[in-house]
Amino acid sequence: MRLAYLLGLITLISARRHPSLPPYLFGRPTSGGFTNHGLYLQDASLGSIQGPNISIHLFNQKIDHFSSSNETFEQRYWHNLNYSKDKNIIFLLIQGESVATDVWVKNPNITYLKLAQKFGAHVFQLEHRCFGFSRPYPDLSFPHLSTCTVDQALEDIHTFIQAKNAYFKYSNPKWIIFGGSYPGSLAALFRMKYPNDTKGAIASSAPMLWTLDFFRGSIDNKKCYNCKNSIRLYNLKPPFVANRTTQHDVDNFFANVFTFFQEVIQYSYNGMVCSYN
């Protein structure tokens, strides 16, 4: 329980959010915190790069691939040439619901970069639209959320690959795309939708059978905790008031309480927290 409390403090301290947003919304930090997904970022930046032959760029991407509008936004991507030996072998790391950083293109101990060294591949990393600094619009208000879809993200990848094929004049490009968790799902879906764009996809821990209201996670979390005597119950002060409390308020409250237990299980890594015995 102390660990859950500590994680909560870290999240609150590290969060940077818009003043009109609560610290948490449905169990997720509204900025910074565990995921650093950043619902609100005040200053766009290319960031900093440390390391030779690694560069960061902006790619003009259509805001809506399924409309006749030609409006574009700037999507960040990274390029690592340190391992390039065969010009036609290209690795693309797909980022997901967080701010992309250069760590994933400059740390030679990361598995896909070890593979890049082995096969002499060009390496790219593409930041996901609507997260980080790759924003079709400066905010995530409801009308703008229509551009933050899986279908739009898949078209971003397709457009990016086609543009780089033309720019670098790859004669026989062999693209391999990589992703983990949600980006892993994108990698698998992209491989199915555009099989001619890539030679393969590495989809690590990729949820493919998506389920609405996935209660199994709650059941598994319950199995992990054998510490019910250490968990204290508290009375709300002030309590919920029937005529002033909405269902949204209640859902948000319990999601914020429950998320600490989820975070302890998912990110403790050493397997010591969870026991199914």
Helical H runs in 96-246?
Answer: 103-106, 111-119, 150-168, 182-193, 216-224
- pLDDT tens digits, one per residue of 3-56: 333 334 333 333 345 555 666 555 455 554 333 433 334 333 455 555 678 999
Q: Which is higher by pLDDT, 195 or 256?
A: 195
Question: Mean of the pLDDT values across residues 120-149?
Answer: 91
Domain ranges of the chain: 54-204, 220-276
Which of 21-35, 206-220, 252-266 is the least confident region?
21-35
pLDDT at 23: 61
- pLDDT tens digits, one per residue of 156-202: 999 999 999 999 999 899 999 999 989 999 999 999 999 999 999 99
Q: Closest Cα to residue 152, out of 259, 66, 90?
A: 66
Cα Rg of the chain (Å, integer)? 21
Q: What is the pTM of this model?
A: 0.72
- Phi, then psi, of 272 in degrees rounded to 5: -80, -25
- pLDDT tens digits, one per residue of 41-98: 433 345 555 567 899 999 999 999 999 999 999 999 999 999 999 789 999 999 998 8
Kindly indicate whether the domain formed by 54-204 is annotated with CATH number 3.40.50.1820: yes
